[in-house]
Structure 1
Amino acid sequence: MLIRKDSLIVAVDGSRMSIFRNIGEAFKPILELVEDQQNSSPRSSELGTDRPGRSSQSTSPRKGAYEQTDLHQQAEDIFAREIAERLDEIARNSDVDLVLVAAPRTLGVIRQHLRTDTSKRLLAEIAKAFGPHDAVSLAKMLEKYDV
């Protein structure tokens, strides 16, 4: 994949984001860490202690329970929205090329919250669960990636 020098590569998983700058050649990227952000992931008991709600109908003796809310997934979705805001900010304040690498579900949430002009600025959106802290293997993956 052609990634020009000084392009930014944003790698995101559910709880961490790293922004790298390509300091190498277009077809041989070398990534340098520019920014690192981590979403704290507290224990479930710290996120919420309520049991799922119960329901009953006045005309029937049957009772039911509501499904337990996935509090960790909610925290990851909020983090993904913050990443979308950060990408919008980068796109507004600079004219660098952007590549987004994110886990498929996280990528979907980010896409929903990106501004249209920011989406147009993305060279590629790669739906791949990737450890954002590993610059060497990320560079190798980008080198082999075909748009």
Structure 2
Amino acid sequence: MQLPKGATVAVADGEKFNLFRNAGDEADLKLTPLDHAAIDADHQGATPGRHGSSANPDGGQDREDGFSAGVVALLNKQVLAGEITHLLIIAAPRTLGAIRPQYHARLTAALVGEIAKDLTGHALQDVEKAIAAA
């Protein structure tokens, strides 16, 4: 996959989030880390109507769902503010499935692709290789 110069790359799972910008061009990908606001993990709505139960007493999945909802809320906000014009989302498959229904229409329009892969703990070079291979 080729990314336009200046495209934003969001890498997420249910606990971690990283944001990068393509400082290179379409032929020569070069990701640089971007600072971002803290994720509000108390967000609700990743899985409406879903709550902890005796089958899930620690609420771990609820925390992951809340974090995922916080990630998409941040991305929606940045797209609406014009801070992101081209966006690639790389996320663990479950996280990607949880955030897709929450994309704002303008985020969907800015989306240049999605990669269903968990790369949050990987080196920057691994992220670049996954993008090049997509």
Q: TM-score range by the shorter chain?
A: 0.7 to 0.9
Contact 2:17-2:120 within 8 A present in 1 as well: no
Q: Please say which of residues 8-17 and 113-122 is displaced more in the overlay.
A: 113-122
Contact 1:18-1:133 within 8 A present in 2 as well: no
Tell me the secondary structure at the aligned position of residue 33 of structure 1: strand
Choose between structure 1 and 2: higher strand proportion: 1
Aligned residue pairs, count: 121
How far residue 118 of structure 1 moved from its aligned partner, in angstroms, is 1.2
Matched residues in 1 for 2:91 and 2:28: separation?
A: 21
Using the aligned pairs only, state the percent identity.
Answer: 26
Query: Counterpart in 2 of 1:57?
Result: none
Query: Counterpart in 1 of 2:30?
Result: 30
User: Which amino acid in structure 2 is aligned with residue 35 of structure 1?
Assistant: D
Q: Does 1:85 align with 2:73?
A: yes
Taking structure 1 as reference, are residues 132 and 3 closer, same or farther at Cα in structure 2, changes over 3 Å only?
A: farther
Contact 1:30-1:136 within 8 A present in 2 as well: no
Taking structure 1 as reference, are residues 82 and 39 closer, same or farther at Cα in structure 2, changes over 3 Å only?
A: closer
Query: Counterpart in 1 of 2:50?
Result: none
User: Mind listing any 5+ residue stretches in structure 1 that lack a counterpart?
Assistant: 41-50, 53-66
Matched residues in 1 for 2:126 and 2:39: separation?
A: 20
Q: Does 1:74 align with 2:62?
A: yes
Alpha-carbon displacement from aligned partner over 1:96-115 (angstroms, at most 9, x marks no partner): 20000000110111112121
Q: Does 1:109 align with 2:109?
A: no
Larger Rg: 1
Q: Does 1:20 align with 2:9?
A: no
**Residues 1-147 of structure 1 correspond to what in structure 2 (within 5 A)?**
1-35=1-35, 52=54, 67-69=55-57, 71-94=59-82, 95-131=84-120, 134-145=123-134
Matched residues in 2 for 1:119 and 1:132: separation?
A: 26
User: Which amino acid in structure 2 is aligned with residue 118 of structure 1?
Assistant: L
Contact 1:24-1:31 within 8 A present in 2 as well: yes
CA RMSD of aligned residues (A): 2.2
Matched residues in 1 for 2:78 and 2:33: separation?
A: 15
How far residue 8 of structure 1 moved from its aligned partner, in angstroms, is 0.3
- TM-score, normalised relative to structure 1: 0.73
The runs of 4+ residues in structure 1 deviating greater than 2 Å are: 35-40, 67-70, 131-134
Taking structure 1 as reference, are residues 124 and 24 closer, same or farther at Cα in structure 2, changes over 3 Å only?
A: same
Taking structure 1 as reference, are residues 93 and 16 closer, same or farther at Cα in structure 2, changes over 3 Å only?
A: same
